[in-house]
């Protein structure tokens, strides 16, 4: 890992929170992700299972966490399973965690080697009444790939058919959405690194620079500040490319007079930042670009004012849609007749703003959390309205990250330049 050691209290508290939601006399089993082959003997860079990481902070493959709060022997109420270090393998692939290192990292005091697990796990399961199995459930994407979690679930249910089974994902959805102060501390570091990268870009961007050169500057700044790297594929979309929401080609020249929409974030300690700014390639907004940008900023500030505990995401988006209608009328994108005759299922403003305004943020960029229940204190959301104008070959989006509090929200990116004046001043330097 590149980052400094995290406070193990993050993971100690997370395990306590999960165990509190478990049924009496139940056991929960979590697996790491697979190592995935590319071609030949090569594999993709390993990415840990987010739920397992949330519980223990281990980034190593072939890892398991077992929670059995009512185990008769107290030392087996929390168990971390690791691959046994192998001297020959380590010469090729690098050092693996030792027992004492793992205890310090995770706060789990019982370490079991994977090759000796079977003889212990079966007696634990025989004592338990309920088994919690983990699955990769995400409303945004269905995966046909049978991951280790699903293979383990299938094998366990065949081997122990008389047990009662529960989905860990249902608990994880609610728990991971609420961030502890320790998690916010780590996420703030990711955000601060992202700010450094953005300020660097404002000094670098000029007509003639390539989008991939900007990407190189980003990655350089991330890595030199101990980030794991990009939290997701960076979007560096100049000119009309900005209307493609997930544009990741990053292979065009940035031209004089264009805007460039930049959506990027660092991953530090397993937690993601997610920033979007749109800036003029030549350092100076035209009057029309300024008008559209300030309209987007008005939407951003309005969304910030209503994103509070108690509102649902559905209601929140409706209200932002009402504000978008006002803004788009003001800047000449739609007419009163368009609003009067709009389809309530496809409102007039949707022609120029065709995505959601906010999503949960945490270990995953699109983190776990509810869409239908009221927003709660402790959640972290993006606020990212956009305006995409095909006729003008222009796209603008502005995004910050917010921690929801009892009385409102805290802008975790409040120090990052956001106004036309701030951006132009820094680019002028």
User: According to CATH, what is the number of the domain 181-428?
Assistant: 3.90.230.10
Mean pLDDT score of the chain: 96
* Cβ atoms within 10 Å, residue 270: 24
% helix, strand, coil for the chain, step of 5: 40, 20, 40
Give dist(CA 92, CA 201) in Å, integer.
37
Query: Are the beta carbons of 412 and 401 closer than 8 angstroms?
Result: yes
DSSP 60: -
Residue 143: the pLDDT is 66
The DSSP line for 132-151 is EE-----TT----S--HHHH
CB atoms closer than 10 angstroms to residue 337: 9
Please give the pLDDT value at position 142: 64
Please report the pLDDT score of residue 6 as a whole number: 97
pLDDT at 197 over 70: yes
Please, which pLDDT band fits residue 203 given cuts at 50, 70 and 90? Answer: very high
- First-to-last alpha carbon distance for the chain, in angstroms, is 35
Average the pLDDT over each of 3-17, 50-64, 88-102, 264-278 and give the range with the smallest value: 88-102
Measured between alpha carbons, how far is 102 from 173 in angstroms, rounded to an integer? Answer: 26
**Domain extent listing, the chain:** 9-175, 181-428
Distance of CA 42 to the CA centre of its chain: 27
Which helix (H) or strand (E) covers residue 27, if one does? Answer: strand 26-31
- The strand order across the sheet containing 271-272 reads 229-230, 266-268, 271-272
235-238 vs 259-264, strand pairing mode:
antiparallel
- Range scoring the smallest mean pLDDT among 12-26, 33-47, 329-343: 33-47
Position 359 pLDDT exceeds 80: yes
Give me the pLDDT at residue 24, please. 98
pLDDT at 399 over 70: yes
Total number of residues shown for the chain: 429
Helices (H) and strands (E) in the chain, counts: 13, 17
Kind of pairing between the strands at 235-238 and 380-383: unpaired
Domain spanning 9-175: which CATH class is it, in words?
Answer: alpha beta
Contact 67, 27 (CB under 8 A): yes
Task: Tell me the CB-side half-sphere exposure of residue 179, using CA atoms within 13 A.
Answer: 24
Q: Which residues are CB-contacts of 315 (< 8 A; sequence separation ≥ 6)? A: none
User: How much of the chain exceeds pLDDT 70, in percent?
Assistant: 99
| Closest alpha carbon to 52 in 106, 119, 2, 99 | 106
Residue 339's pLDDT is 96
Q: Which residue has the higher pLDDT, 370 or 377?
A: 377
Question: Which secondary-structure segment (H or E) carries 30?
Answer: strand 26-31
- Global pTM? 0.96
- Per-residue pLDDT at 138 exceeds 90: no
User: Each residue of 7-21: pLDDT tens digit?
Assistant: 999 999 999 999 999
Tokens of 120: 């212990």
pLDDT tens-digit series, residues 294-340 = 999 999 999 999 999 999 999 999 999 999 999 999 999 999 999 99
Residue 226: left (phi > 0), alpha (psi -120 to 50), or beta? Answer: left
Write out pLDDT tens, residues 57-72. 999 999 999 999 999 9
Q: What is the per-residue pLDDT across 102-136, written as a single tens digit (0 to 9) for each?
A: 999 999 999 999 999 999 999 999 999 999 999 98
**From CA 159, how far away is CA 118, in angstroms rounded?**
13
Tokens at 86, concatenated: 């192998």
What does the pLDDT read at residue 276? 98
């Amino acid at each position: 890992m590149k980052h400094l050691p995290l406070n193990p209290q993050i993971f100690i508290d997370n395990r306590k929170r999960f165990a509190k939601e478990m049924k009496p006399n139940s056991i929960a089993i979590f697996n790491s992700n697979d190592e995935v082959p590319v071609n030949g003997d090569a594999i993709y860079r390993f990415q840990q299972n987010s739920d397992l990481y949330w519980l223990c902070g281990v980034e190593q493959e072939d890892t398991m966490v077992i929670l059995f709060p009512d185990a008769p022997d107290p030392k087996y109420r929390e168990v971390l399973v690791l691959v046994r270090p192998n001297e020959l393998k380590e010469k090729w692939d690098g050092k693996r965690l030792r027992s004492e290192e793992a205890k310090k990292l995770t706060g789990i005091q019982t370490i079991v080697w994977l090759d000796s697990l079977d003889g212990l796990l079966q007696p634990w399961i025989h004592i338990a009444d309920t088994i919690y199995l983990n699955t990769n459930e995400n409303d945004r994407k269905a995966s046909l790939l049978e991951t280790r979690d699903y293979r383990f679930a299938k094998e366990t249910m065949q081997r122990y058919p008389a047990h009662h089974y529960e989905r860990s994902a249902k608990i994880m959805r609610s728990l991971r959405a609420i961030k502890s102060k320790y998690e916010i501390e780590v996420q703030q570091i990711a955000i601060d690194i992202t700010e450094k990268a953005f300020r660097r870009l404002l000094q670098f961007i000029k007509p003639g620079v390539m989008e991939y050169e900007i990407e190189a500057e980003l990655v350089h700044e991330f890595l030199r500040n101990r980030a794991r790297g990009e939290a997701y594929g960076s979007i560096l979309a100049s000119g009309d490319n900005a209307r493609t929401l997930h544009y990741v080609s990053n292979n065009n020249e940035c031209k004089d007079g264009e805007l460039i929409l930049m959506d990027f974030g660092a991953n530090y300690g397993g937690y993601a930042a997610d920033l979007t700014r749109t800036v003029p390639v030549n350092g100076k907004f035209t009057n029309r670009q300024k008008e559209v940008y300030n309209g987007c900023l008005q939407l951003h500030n309005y969304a910030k004012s209503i994103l509070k505990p108690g509102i649902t995401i559905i209601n929140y988006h409706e209200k932002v849609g009402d504000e978008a209608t006002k803004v788009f009328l003001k800047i000449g994108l739609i007419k009163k007749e368009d609003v009067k005759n709009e389809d309530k299922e496809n409102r007039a403003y949707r022609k120029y703003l065709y995505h959601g305004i906010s999503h949960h943020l945490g270990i995953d960029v699109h983190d776990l959390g509810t869409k239908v229940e009221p927003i709660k204190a402790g959640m972290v959301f993006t606020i990212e309205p956009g305006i995409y104008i095909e006729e003008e070959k222009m796209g603008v989006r502005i995004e910050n990250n917010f921690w929801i509090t009892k009385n409102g929200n805290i802008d975790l990116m409040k120090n990052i330049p956001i106004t036309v004046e701030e951006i132009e001043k820094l680019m002028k330097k």
